[in-house]
Every structure is written in C-alpha cells, then in structure tokens.
Amino acid sequence: MSLPRRLLCVISDEHSDPVELARLALDGGAGMVQLRRKTASGRELFQWALRIQELCREQKALFIVNDRVDIALAMQADGVHLGQQDMPASAARALLGPEAIIGVSVSCIEDAVKAAKESASYIGVGHIFPTFSKNKPSAPLGTAAIRPIRNAAQLPVIAIGGIERDNAAEVIRAGASGIAVISAVSESDDPTAATRELVKRIRQA
C-alpha cells in the first residue's frame, strides 16, 4: 500500500478515549490514525483498535498501531509504526505482508537508510520542533533536516514533533509527505476543527 501525499496522521495521547479522539479527528479529515498507548493492556489495545479500524474504513482513512505488531496482526490493521526499540521493520514486514504500511521512527540519516533497507513504507522523522508530548532529551532537528534524510532513504517522510497549525505548511514545504501530531489535536478544545485546519494548511502548503 503506498502512502497518500499530504497526509495528516493523528496519534492518540495517553489520557483521552482513543476511539472518541479518532472519531473527532476523522470528522476533521485526518487521513491516518495511529493508536499509541504505552501503558494499556493487550486486550484494551485490541478492542480500541477494532473500533478505530472500523471508523477509519468508513472514512477511507488508514489505521496503524504503534509498536504492537501483535495487535496489528491480530486485528488486521493497515500497518504499524515502529520505534528504534521495536523489532526491525524487516521482521514486521515478514509477519504483516507486502501490503502493510510499516513506518519507522528515525532522527538521523543512518537510521533512515537502515529503515529503507528493511522495507519500511515510510519514515517518521522527528522531533522537528520542541515538544512536550514525548519526553525528548535531544535537540529538535528543525525543518532543514527533512530533505537530506528523505533523499538518503528515498522514502516518504512523515514529520513529527511540535508541529501545529502555524508551522505545518513550513514542514511540508521542507520536503515532508505528511505530518503526525498528538497534542495539536488531542489537547485542542475542538479536535475536529483543529484537524480540519491542519489538513487545510497541509494541502495549501
């Protein structure tokens, strides 16, 4: 499955109801939803994932699971997003098949090239700007890092980290195929409107 261009991926936060958040984000036009909940049990993740997958199908959006290849496999998600602490993309690819979307988080050219060799479908590049959603000890990469990483890996880039309404277009112009957000949607008073605005800015970039 190839990744649509100018994609907005909305990722669940650690406290909201992930199904409700997905519904609101899809109403706003999100093209992809990622279920990410570090502390949830396998059963909780499985049940949320089934429901979010159904919502995504209704809206022709993609659904992927963060880290847990087992959950993605058990409920046949469209794909997974893997960190550097997860099994290699090649192992996930062998389990999920050639059609699955497999994203890998990278923050340098070396990891990006490795992800490409291991048959990742896209790379999640970040964090681009300072962010509080994830505990990051390293400095932000900045938008200038996107193009060299993309060119080295020859894979679509979904940029992440501190991206919101006012810098989304800049990220796309810097070479990203799409952006991923957590707090820009989950912390908004109106997640649907926040999603809609991000989608618009990405399309107009």
Partner 1 sequence: MIVSSGSEHLAHRGLVLEQAQAISRSASVIFQVREKGLDAASLWTLCRQIAPIIDETGSIITINERFDIAVASGASGVNLPESSCPADAVRKAAPGLITGQSVHSESAALKASSAGLDYLLFGPVFHTPSKAPFGPPQGLERLRKICEKVRIPVFAVGGITPDKALACIECGAWGVAALTPFLDAGSMPETINRYLSFMPS
Residues near partner 1, by CB under 8 A = 41-46, 67-71, 73-75, 84-88, 91-92, 94-95
**Active-site residue 188, yes or no?**
no
Q: How far is the CB of 200 from partner 1 (least distance, A)?
A: 37
- C-beta of 73 vs 193, nearer to partner 1: 73
CB neighbours (10 Å) of residue 1? 12
CA distance linking residue 76 with residue 57, whole number of Å: 12
CB 170 within 8 A of CB 158: no
Q: Of 11 and 45, which has the nearer Cβ to partner 1?
A: 45
Catalytic residue from among 105, 107, 133, 188: 105
- Please indicate whether residue 105 is annotated as part of the active site: yes
State the nearest-atom distance from the C-beta of 77 to partner 1, in Å: 11
Nearer to partner 1, 48 or 129 (CB): 48
Q: Does residue 12 have an active-site annotation?
A: no
CB of 42 to partner 1, least distance (A): 4
* 8 A C-beta contact, residue 159 and residue 126: yes
Q: DSSP assignment of 132-157, as one string?
A: SSS---SPP--GGGHHHHHHHHTS-E
CA atoms in the 13 A half-sphere facing the CB of 188: 22
Catalogue the active-site residues: 36, 105, 134
